[in-house]
Amino acid sequence: MRPTEAKEARASVFLLAGVATAPRFFEYCRKHVEQLCSACGWQADVQIIYPYGDHSRSLFAQVREVSGDVTRRFQAFRIGGRLAAQEIRKTYDGGRLILIGHSGGGAAAYQAARILDAAGQLGDCRIVQIGSPRVPITPEFRERVCYIHAVDELGRLKDPITKLGSWGGWTRSGFALPRWNGAKYAPAHIEPITVVGGHADYFRHDMPFVDAQQVSNMDKTIAKAWAWLQRAIQPPAQLE
């Protein structure tokens, strides 16, 4: 294997938890992601990050920290993003980087990527936000972000956390008048998904979080994320 091919075969994958998450909640998901990476031919190092701590910390403190990662202002208060960036730096040395964040972890994943990018430490990065608040995405990152959210059988938003935050911004109309654009800072890729349960259940893998076709929430969620990742990372010629 040539050096270039060896580098392309490596992947650093991080699962980022949201607030009030149990310490071993992502273990089953981590093993599943490792298997998917192996099937893709990637030598993957899959790690779990708790940007806001686990369920033993104050919920109020965690929610306050998430709010700092969601807003476009107050750069000094990107607490979850900064902690995530610090954890990623411990093992990541460039190349393919995949960040999969649930709830506030999706906000922290995006902010961590921006911090690494500003420091010249970001390689080929893709970010998956699952059930996350709406974090304004800068134009240079739009194509790198996939946003997955739960909907009901009629396609309506089901997850209340995905209604928080905003992708909106002011633009000028054809008459040079300001106009509010609700999707100005939205990710380029937005994917709806149906799950059994609610916001905390995207990664549940056993009963009763299994649909009539015997597909678990976790299988649906990761399958949706992985389908996008393969399209986003591989050149079109390799997808045929």
Per-residue pLDDT of the chain (240 residues; tens, 9 = 90+): 444 444 567 899 999 999 999 988 999 999 999 999 999 898 998 999 999 999 999 999 999 999 989 986 656 567 899 999 999 999 998 889 999 999 999 999 999 999 999 999 999 999 999 999 999 999 999 999 999 999 998 999 999 999 999 999 988 877 778 889 999 999 999 999 999 999 999 999 999 999 999 999 999 999 999 999 999 986 443 333
Q: Are strands 125-130 and 145-150 parallel, antiparallel or unpaired?
A: parallel
Structure tokens at 124: 């080929």
Given a contact cutoff of 8 angstroms between Cβ atoms, the answer to whether 115 and 121 are in contact is no
Task: Output the average pLDDT for the chain.
Answer: 90
Strands 189-193 and 97-102: unpaired
Q: Which residue has the tokens 């995530």?
A: 84
Looking at this protein, which amino acid is placed at residue 184? Answer: K
Instruction: Enter the pTM of the model.
Output: 0.91
Q: Which residue stretches of the chain are H helix?
A: 3-8, 27-39, 59-70, 79-89, 104-118, 217-233, 236-239
Among all chains, which residue has been given the structure tokens 């807003």? 71
Task: Kindly report the backbone phi and psi dihedral angles of residue 207, in degrees, each rounded to the nearest multiple of 5, phi listed first.
Answer: -60, 145
Quickly count: other Cβ atoms within 10 Å of residue 180's Cβ: 9
Helix, strand, or coil (residue 9): coil
Strand partners, 193: 150
Residue 16 bridge partners (DSSP): 49, 101
Interatomic CA distance for residues 32 and 54, integer angstroms: 21
DSSP classification of residue 78: -
